[in-house]
Every structure is written in C-alpha cells, then in structure tokens.
Amino acid sequence: MELLFLEPVFKEAIWGGTRLKDSFGYDIPSNTTGECWAVSAHENGECRISGGPYNGCSLSSLWKENKSLFGGYPGDKFPLLVKIIDAKEDLSIQVHPDDAYAGLNEHGSFGKTECWYILDCLPGAEIVIGHHGRDREEMEAMVRGGRWNQFVRTQPIKRGDFFQIEPGCVHAIKGGTLILETQQSSDITYRLYDYGRLSDGKPRQLHTEQSIAVIKAPFEEGKTITEITKEDGAVCTHLVTCQFYSVDKYEIEGVFAKEFHKYFTNVSVISGSGLINGIPLKAGQHFIIPAGSGECRFEGTMTIICSNPE
Ligand code: ZN
C-alpha cells in the first residue's frame, strides 16, 4: 500500500500568527493564520492527497470509495482530524458538545473530544482547562454573571506536555502557544467568552445557552497516559487512549521499523527529517499509513505524532 501524503488546509483567525510558516515553512494565506488542518476529511476544510495513485483525490472521497485503505473502519465519515494551531493571541474560552448533544442539536455532527500536544510555548505560558464551579448551579451563576477570573481554571504548560479535553470541559489555548491537536472530525465550538474582542468590527458570536447545557460540573481532569518504551531506533511514548482515538509519540534516532494499526494511522512529523520506506520526510509533513501496509521503515532523526481510531 502507498502512503497517503496530504495537502494541508489553512484557516485564518483573529488570534493567529505566522508560526505555521516560520516553524514549518507552510505557504500561509496571511499573517493571522491560526490553523493548519493537516489530516482532515471535514467539509469545512478538506485535505487532498498529494502524489501517488490517488493524487488530487479528497480524503472524504477515498474514505467512501476505497474502504480497504482504512481497513473497512465503520462509519460514513472519516472519524479524526489532526491540526496544528498557532495561537499568537488567546483563543476564546470555549467548550464542545459530545456525540449525543451534537447529533441531536448540530445536524448529526460528531461531538468533539480533543487532545493537545504542546509543540512550543512561551516561558511561563498557561492554558485554560476546567473551571471552579463546584456544581452545575454555581457554574451557571458564574457564567451568567461573567465572573471569568473566578470561573476559569488555568494550568502552567511547557513544551512536550499533553492534555486530553473531554466534551463539556471549558478550555482555551493562550497566546504564544503552538499545539498539535488530534480530535474527532467535528467543527462544533461553543464560545463562552471572547475577551470583548472585535472581528471585522463586530464581536464574534457567543453561545451561552449551548455552553451551559454541555459544560460538565464539577470539572474532572481528562485521563492521559505516559507510558514510555524503548524500542530499536525509537523512544515511544503512549499519550492517550479514549473511545475515539489513541495517540503516540515516537522519537526516532537511526532506523525504526514498525507495523502500525490494523485500520489506519495518521502521522505528523513535528521535528527533524529522514526517510520512510525510502521517501524523504521533513517536519510539517502529514500522511496516513493505510491498513495492510505491513512494516514501515523510518530512518533519520525525527519526532512523529501518530493517531489511530479505536
Ligand atoms: Zn477545543
């Protein structure tokens, strides 16, 4: 099976910057580019295959017409979405619904469970993850009263940290942070608070009622794993397994051979360079290892983040 290399899609945002170009050399549309949708079959930003027999095909058309590439994984939509996010400024305080709420209220969309690998951040950086409402009543009172300083729970971060954000978890990426996000293929975000900012002269829409409906109270931390194993040619760190995905990091040094997941595996090269099965690889490239690819042979010095569906 040939690897499926993907052409990323870029999204501008009021909080975006230029690091997608500066760090990875991407051709970004403006100096306020917030997101690189690196592995996506979502209708709001769909990747196409670059090179090989499927050159130019959209990932969603491959998903529909070439099920064997994905090991016959069930479902009519490609389930995952991998992004790199450049937050030059703070993102809004937000929350996502789960599958049940999104399915009912958002035209059958998937909900959004997501996880963050911190690629880089400023010294002293933090994120918003969770809130201080002790129960639903207090959460609602704090949100309706706009008591944001009291409400949000912040946590310091450093490069290499990893967080699981469950649906119903209040969160925000703060300025100066570069993140690789693996998530369910969903674009449903409920915005709680946007710091009174204007976009094109107007405040961006808030979704107070939907947010209150989906926020879980009290806050419970998402479960991550840090299981490190040393294999020939790589240090492997298993980061998370939840009902939607597993995510692993491989720090490759030399030659590393591995057979990946029975369905398919998304791969993002986050630093370094080398080869896979003799094909040159560098930081910023993203590809899918199809089902039945057999053993893949990496060579070089690079770090990759892999995800597969559960
Ligand atoms: Zn989010």
* pLDDT at 199 (0 to 100): 85
Helices then strands, counting H and E runs in the chain, come out as 6, 24
* pLDDT at 173 (0 to 100): 97
Is the pLDDT at 259 greater than 90, yes or no? Answer: yes
* Cα 187 to ligand 1 centroid, rounded to whole Å: 9
Q: Which of 19, 153, 191, 204 is catalytic?
A: 191
Do 80 and 185 contact (CB within 8 A), yes or no? yes
* Cα 25 to ligand 1 centroid, rounded to whole Å: 25
Is the pLDDT at 169 greater than 80, yes or no? Answer: yes
Mean pLDDT of 164-175: 97
Closest CA to 165 of 226, 97, 119: 97
* Cα 148 to ligand 1 centroid, rounded to whole Å: 18
Structure tokens at 101: 């709420």
Is the pLDDT at 158 greater than 90, yes or no? Answer: yes
Do 114 and 182 contact (CB within 8 A), yes or no? yes
* Cα 86 to ligand 1 centroid, rounded to whole Å: 13
Name the percent of the chain lying above pLDDT 70.
100
Do 188 and 109 contact (CB within 8 A), yes or no? yes
Rg (CA), the chain: 19
9-56 pLDDT, tens digit per residue, is: 999 999 999 999 999 999 999 999 999 999 999 999 999 999 999 999
* Cα 188 to ligand 1 centroid, rounded to whole Å: 9
Amino acid identity at 217:
A
Do 267 and 243 contact (CB within 8 A), yes or no? no
* Cα 287 to ligand 1 centroid, rounded to whole Å: 23
- Please say if 197 is a catalytic residue: no
CA distance 35 to 32: 10
99-140 pLDDT, tens digit per residue, is: 999 999 999 999 999 999 999 999 999 999 999 999 999 999
Mean pLDDT of the residues in the chain: 96
204-250 pLDDT, tens digit per residue, is: 999 999 999 999 999 999 999 889 999 999 999 999 999 999 999 99
State the residue for tokens 């690897």: 3
55-89 pLDDT, tens digit per residue, is: 999 999 999 999 999 999 999 999 999 999 999 99
* Cα 110 to ligand 1 centroid, rounded to whole Å: 14
Q: What is the pTM of this model?
A: 0.96
Please state, as a whole number, how many other Cβ atoms lie within 10 Å of the Cβ of residue 179: 24
Do 128 and 192 contact (CB within 8 A), yes or no? no
* Cα 48 to ligand 1 centroid, rounded to whole Å: 24
Is the pLDDT at 1 greater than 80, yes or no? Answer: no
* Cα 233 to ligand 1 centroid, rounded to whole Å: 34
